[in-house]
Amino acid sequence: MAKIPERRRNTRIPVDFTVAVTMGRKILKWRAKEFSEFGVLLASKDKVNEKQLVGQDFRLALELNPDQPAITVTGIVAYASTTGLGVRFKNVPAHDQAALRYYVDARGIGKSEKNS
């Protein structure tokens, strides 16, 4: 049986940037692998039980551009898979939401590698 392609409401783009993840008093450096204006797929080298993190809130510092300060948002772990943790952003202020949207739009489908 052929697999039906997954339909998403938002464009997700492949990325590779650092995300500082605050879990309680710990700050861990993980890598963003996929990104949309509403969430991120994170990959970790740290010893964590990803399945136990589903449903937990994190504070994320997204280092989208090395020349600018990180955007800090709150997110909830929506799922854990073999590729990483899917984190959905929560209560993002309008100015940060606009910055996230701009980042995706500038690097989305049809954009050249020079724009990344």
Write out pLDDT tens, residues 23-49.
889 898 999 999 999 999 999 876 666
Asked if the structure places residue 35 within a domain, the reply is yes
User: 67 pLDDT exceeds 50?
Assistant: yes
94-97: long-range contacts, CB 8 A cutoff, minimum separation 24: 96/71, 97/37
Q: Which residue has the higher pLDDT, 9 or 2?
A: 9
Asked if the structure places residue 3 within a domain, the reply is no
Asked if the structure places residue 4 within a domain, the reply is no
User: 5 pLDDT exceeds 60?
Assistant: no
| pTM for this model (two decimals) | 0.81
User: 57 pLDDT exceeds 60?
Assistant: yes
User: 10 pLDDT exceeds 90?
Assistant: no
Asked if the structure places residue 42 within a domain, the reply is yes
Distance in angstroms (rounded) separating the CA atoms of residues 9 and 89? 15
User: 6 pLDDT exceeds 80?
Assistant: no
Residue 58, both tokens: 């994190």
How many domains would you assign to the chain? 1
Domain of residue 77, residue span: 13-107
Residue 46, both tokens: 């740290």
Write out pLDDT tens, residues 71-82.
999 999 999 888
How far from chain centre, in Å, is Cα 78? 11
Q: In sequence order, what are the residues at sequence separation of 6 or more whose Cβ sits closer than 8 angstroms to the Cβ of residue 89? A: 38, 39, 40, 60, 73, 74, 75, 100
pLDDT for res 50: 72
Distance in angstroms (rounded) separating the CA atoms of residues 50 and 28? 14
Where residue 62 sits, what CATH number does that domain have?
Answer: 2.40.10.220
